[in-house]
Amino acid sequence: MTRKTSPSHAPATLSVKGRDIRIRTLGIVALTAVAIWFIAVNTVSVAVRLWIPVVVLPLWAVLTVTLLAGLALGGLVVRRRARR
């Protein structure tokens, strides 16, 4: 009988200039670059309703706060999954 070997569970990598870089890392860098570009392009002021008060802010500030909140929540979810 032949014995089946289990496949390697190492993350997928790509070799760039002799260094192994995880594909997930490349994706995160690309998404971050697109998000920063999107924030930099949107400079017009907008009105944001925060329950009762209406605040007028530049759209880049609103998008930056949203991005940081999303990163913080994503980090919490990843950390919580890692503990399980």
What confidence tens digit (pLDDT) does each residue in 17-45 have?
A: 777 778 888 888 899 899 999 999 998 99
CB burial readout 12-25, b (16+ within 10 A) else e: eeeeeeeeeeeeee
E strands, 24-72, are: 45-49, 54-58
Q: What pLDDT score does 26 carry?
A: 86
CB 63 within 8 A of CB 45: no
pTM of the model: 0.66
pLDDT tens digit sequence for 42-65: 989 999 998 889 999 999 999 999
